[in-house]
A and B are shown apart, each in its own frame.
Chain A
Amino acid sequence: MADLSRRTALGVGGGLLLAGCDRIAATRPARSAFVGAEDLTYRVDRLITPRNALAPEFTGADVSPIFRSNGTARPGSADYARLLAGNFADWRLHVGGLVSRPLAISLAQLKALPQRTQITRHDCVEGWSAIGRWTGPVLGPILQFAGLSSNARYIVFHCHDDLGSSSYYESIDMIDAFHPQTILAWALNGQPLPVQNGAPLRLRVERQLGYKQAKYLRGIEAVASLDYVGGGKGGYWEDVADYAWYAGI
């Protein structure tokens, strides 16, 4: 014991305890507990929060001097490079899945729709926050215009950024899809969306964390179940790293 420093002893003891936690986390009961807790959080949030309760909006004085980028800063695909070189004139947003009228919308058409501008806070799952002014059309009317089926339960967002195994994707429920602040933003702080923040178009779903705010949008798909989307958990980080699908907390 003499040559064993207190820190080493603590480390060994703590290490054993923690290795225990890691082993427990991999078991079926622990999985059910985690998923149960996530589900409980989701349901309680939906229960206590009015359907259209707005995320706080701020003033121009609150805007972050620099809105940092996270995740992909520039998609690497040849397709994206070509679209970017053409100033996104050839870019289209494809709206499909459980809709009666699939759409292919250009950036000019999106900008011609009624616009919403909101100064909101972007909260990364890592802990940092940045405030920015976002402008774009509200998602709900676009879905209605496409003739959304009553069987649709989730809206899936497909993106241009390739991350090895797949491109980025995310999904939200119908409450968030039809929330008045859920917009398809093409402008940040009065300027066209910079490439690092998701040009030409990104989702803003203001009552959830940053990884839900899909960047580099190329397609929107209405689905009845998330089982056949990616690995089945409803999003890239959900499938790859086990982040919670509901990111309201």
Chain B
Amino acid sequence: MATSASRPKTYRHKRATRLWHWLNALAIFMLLMTGLMIFNAHPHLYWGRYGANFDASWLGIGPTPQGGGELRVYQIHVPTTGVLGHWKDQQGHVQTRAFPYWVTVPAHYSLAGARRWHFLFAWVLILGGTAYFIASLINRHFARDLAPTREELKPHHLWQDIKDHARLRLPTGDAAGRYNPLQKMAYIAVIFFLIPMMILTGLTMAPAFDATFPQLLWLFGGRQSARSIHFLCAMGLVAFIVVHLVMIVLAGPINEIRSMITGWFRIPPEKQRHG
């Protein structure tokens, strides 16, 4: 068996991809955590054009009359005491805001402060994303690395990839130098759907933007629907981040993180594949 140092390396991530990855990771984390603080200011979600305290919400997080906390989705009540709607702050005082201090920015309740951070990093997301998009068209990152091949889209190929993932059997040899089909689809979903949806639904919530592009209100079914979709897509990004981090740990975190910093990825040897 070859030692790790002598195993072949492949140039896996282009410079624009690496730069954007880390810039965007920072932006997404800040947007998520400040977004949870903004949600805390009015922890109810509605469908339609309007929605306020006297209107029916489909989701709510808050304290219960019994002295706990709960997440309510339509008529389903999930107890969340200690985490959502009823939790202890750093001083040990009980707070009844929706999301606890350890997932929000700022840690103490501040809608104005959260909005400052949120709109600063919204610009990082938009400007960084635009630069990445242009660079990825020019350096053919989208065409070469992300677009699934005709072969990869065949059902038996996809099914094989699903089985491999389910058995946590990760690609080795040459195959490890490329993204596998499920991985490509996950990245495509984030880059071409979730992030654009976050931006568009976010802009739809802006009253000035609605005067410029009222079509967005029609597209999302009203401002409060856009706010709900904004939240759901944010939860989609959280789900992606969790799976993404788990896959990195499983695939070898040092090699994976190094490749996203330097670009060079050490090919896992073929013989490690068994079973």
Contact = CB atoms under 8 A, between A and B. Distances in A.
B52 A68 contact: yes
Nearest first, the 9 A-B pairs at minimum CB distance are A248-B208, A14-B102, A127-B42, A249-B206, A18-B107, A128-B52, A126-B41, A66-B54, A37-B120
A58 interface: yes
Given A15-B101, A121-B50, A129-B223, 14 more contacts: A25-B116, A25-B117, A34-B117, A37-B119, A49-B208, A53-B212, A54-B211, A56-B210, A64-B54, A127-B227, A206-B207, A206-B211, A208-B207, A241-B112
Interface of B: 30, 33, 38-39, 41-42, 44, 49-55, 82-83, 90, 100-108, 111-113, 115-117, 119-120, 123, 203, 205-212, 214, 217, 223-224, 227
8 contacts: A7-B83, A11-B102, A25-B106, A25-B117, A38-B116, A65-B54, A68-B53, A126-B41
B207 A207 contact: yes
A48 B108 CA distance: 35
Contacts of B42: 124, 126-128
Given A15-B90, A56-B217, A68 B208 contact: no
A125 interface: yes
Given A22-B108, A34-B120, A242-B112, A207 B52 contact: no
A73 B54 CA distance: 16
B221 to A, nearest CB: 12
A79 interface: no
Interface residues of A, number: 51
B56 to A, nearest CB: 10
B111 to A, nearest CB: 7
Contacts of B209: 45, 49, 248-249
A171 B237 CA distance: 38
Interface in A63-80: 64-66, 68
Interface in A190-240: 206-209, 237
Contact of A56 (B30, B211, B227): B211
A125 B54 contact: no
A176 to B, nearest CB: 10
A242 B113 contact: yes
B112 A121 contact: no
A128 B104 contact: no
Nearest to B119: A37
A121 B211 contact: no
Nearest to A179: B211
A126 B41 CA distance: 5
B107 A207 contact: no
B105 A21 contact: yes
Nearest to A11: B102
A207 B211 CA distance: 7
